[in-house]
Structure 1
């Protein structure tokens, strides 16, 4: 294939520059005019996220992650980014009063988690689960319920049939006894 176009050092420097530009958005007065949807799907944020993730993996310093989450005003975007970082790095996130903190959770990191694919899915569905996933889960639950109900129903029907047999048997004996008792008197 050949050598990469840029060396690792140049790529890291570019990612660091993108990170500093994203952080400067946080302090900029024109922040309210930015479309956060476009910012989330921009290459600038993608490079900044890559830098923050590599920095966190290398130095175990998660402060850069929280700073990137705080760039966004809308809660859904903050939650998406925080959840993505948590899943990608195997960390636990806590958010309170404008500060975001990440702590190790003991769960393994998901290294093959792709940021752009996650962003595309988030922009398409939001924080909700995809409809097909929800339908599959409901279908799975319904089939379990139906099988349980049908099993319980069958058991109930068998029990009722046995009860009917016992009642008939008892009634026949009782009827025979009563007719015998009447004839004897």
Structure 2
């Protein structure tokens, strides 16, 4: 059976979600698809490209309609969407953060945040810094939350991770500073 690139990405996400990032190898993926590992290289040239495509697909699957009218509420929507999207898949945060850090895959979350911050009448230099700060907040909080959830389910720790309320409070602190800067 001949597979398409989308089949490879879909199966990679299924392997990621079921077994975790450490088990998502080209060999395992090929076995899951019933092909030789070399057949995967027709679709993705290496594992880094595969992980970037997986990150892009995870982000794509998590898109939600925008409802907020004000720029700061749209920032909350975007950041919440990204957090929820990464938490939806085992090791999803690690995959998305790694792809972003290495400049692989689409730059969609960053570009959407940048555009939304521009609509808040922030100066360009502040837009860039604010985009990075917001992404660092989302990535850091979500990675810690996902790690704590996995550790709790394995019985390794007995404290609950910081959840949505903690995330939103941190986000509001950053937004308070941006609103202040935008009003000047």
Over alpha carbons, which structure has the higher Rg?
1
TM above 0.5, yes or no, is no
- Greater relative contact order structure (CA < 8 Å, 6+ sep): 2
What's the TM-score once normalised by structure 1's chain length?
0.29
Which structure is higher in strand share?
A: 1
TM-score by length of structure 2 reads 0.29
